Chains A and B, each alone.
Chain A
Amino acid sequence: MPEKFEPYIFGFLCNWCGYAGADLAGTSRIQYPPNLRAIRLMCSGRVDPAFILTALKRGADGVLVVGCHPGDCHYINGNLRTERRVALLKKMLSNLGLDDRRVRLEWISASEGEKFAVVVREFVEEMRALGPNPLEGNMNET
């Protein structure tokens, strides 16, 4: 019986909203799959498209970027910049033959612990269905 493929998700969580929302899921003991490796940044606006590309290159099956809802950004509009960067990056990824659903941008506030868990659950399943990141060992085509 082949082992079920467990996707690796890399997460960028903003300090004021995303990371706090994830912490709330923790304090509320809301369970979600252990496939997420996340780091904390002050603002989702710190997320450089090069980070997302590196994560994908290193084998992440999915990349999750979490910021504050538009209008709530602690730094006013950093999240709006991220929104546009991710949109353009997704187009670039499609051009490069990657399914752009592997990069997901979510707005999750500090009070939305439940939503954080739901998003991680959904994203893990979506990546499981998409299959492993094709970049690992794709330097030769048939």
Chain B
Amino acid sequence: MKLRIALEGLGACAGCEIAILDLHEEILSLLEDLEVDYAPILMDKKILNENVDVLLLSGSVRNKHDAEEAVRLSEKAKITIAFGSCASFGGIPGLANLYATRELLERAYLTTESTDNKEGILPSEEVPPIEQVIKPLKEWVEIDYKIPGCPPQPKMIKEIFQMLLNRKPVTLSKKTVCDECDLKREEKKIKRILRWGEGEPDGSRCLLEQGYFCAGPATRAGCEAKCIAALTPCRGCMGPPENVTDQGARMVSAIASVAAVDEKDRVDPEELATMFKDVVGTLCRFSLPSSIISRKVLERKSK
């Protein structure tokens, strides 16, 4: 009996679907035991009406339609999986939680430099109403597993499909990206934070030690540290490690703790705060909606 799966992208970019294609020929061997009933972009079927064994939902829940579809589809599936970082923690769209939805709509439809919308029309007809706050998928439907990554690495996708095919529970790495990173570690002591692009990084040594922000220490392993292998610091797309809720809080603690305190190299606490242009955007890039404080406090207008 083939395992019947369906994919759906909610407020998605299709990156996760393409990640499946990145399995290349290895898809063929998987397809011997997998029946893909529904997969937008990859298959030309418009609506899923049948029941499936596994549902992979990617993308964030940005509007009412996303929320309704998430509920409708997961009722048809035995196992619902949050596929990709958007579904798992909120992802990049989660950063919209730093703005009022009014601000977001105005920026998108009125004030972008190339927009010519003198009447100031915000779409409202036949457009599903926007959700005020991005919440991770698990706040909308019951999730059995999550597959983090932006996008999840093909190798990881393959391993997880194999776990599903073997009717085994899906397990993720319990380690952090540092475990998969080959750069040499000497001493964790930071004197200043550099923006990526400043200075000349040493390609053999830990990037964080050189002052470049790398989210590796507070990010789940599973991606084989590919970004770092290409000499780019980790941005945390695999989300928080096994026991962690708030990835941002962990990086705040880790970075501030290794800011130099000895006589000669002392980093002033106030100075430390100014070293980041955007603390939340940098430290909680992919996981703001699932952090302890998941949304910026906005000024209340009287009703």
Contact = CB atoms under 8 A, between A and B. Distances in A.
A3 interface: no
A97 B299 CA distance: 8
B252 A85 contact: yes
A87 B253 contact: no
Interface in A57-103: 57, 77, 80-81, 83-93, 95-98
A27 interface: no
A56 interface: yes
Q: Which of A49, A53, A84, A138 has the most CB of B within 10 A?
A: A84
A142 B300 contact: yes
Contact of A95 (B98, B250, B298, B300): B98
Contact of A77 (B248, B252, B261, B267): B261
Given A85-B256, A91-B273, A98 B280 contact: no
Interface size class of A (residues with CB under 8 A): 20 to 34
A88 B273 contact: yes
| Dominant SS among interface residues on chain A | helix
A1 interface: no
B234 to A, nearest CB: 19
B280 A138 contact: no
A48 B249 contact: yes
Contact of B249 (A49, A77, A80, A86): A49
A134 B297 contact: yes
A135 B101 CA distance: 18
A110 B245 CA distance: 35
A139 interface: yes
A95 B301 contact: no
A98 B256 CA distance: 20
B278 interface: yes
A83 B269 contact: yes
Contact of B267 (A50, A84, A86, A93): A84
Contact of A50 (B132, B245, B296): B245
Interchain residue pairs A-B with the least CB separation, the first 3: A97-B297, A87-B269, A84-B256
Interface of A: 48-50, 53-54, 56-57, 77, 80-81, 83-93, 95-98, 134-135, 138-142
Interface of B: 98, 100-101, 132-133, 245-246, 248-250, 252-253, 255-257, 259, 261, 267, 269-270, 272-273, 276, 278-281, 283, 291-293, 295-298, 300-301, 303
29 contacts: A49-B249, A50-B245, A50-B250, A50-B292, A54-B292, A56-B293, A81-B256, A84-B256, A84-B259, A84-B261, A84-B269, A85-B256, A86-B269, A87-B269, A88-B252, A88-B256, A89-B249, A92-B283, A95-B279, A95-B280, A95-B296, A96-B98, A96-B297, A97-B296, A97-B298, A138-B298, A141-B100, A141-B101, A142-B301
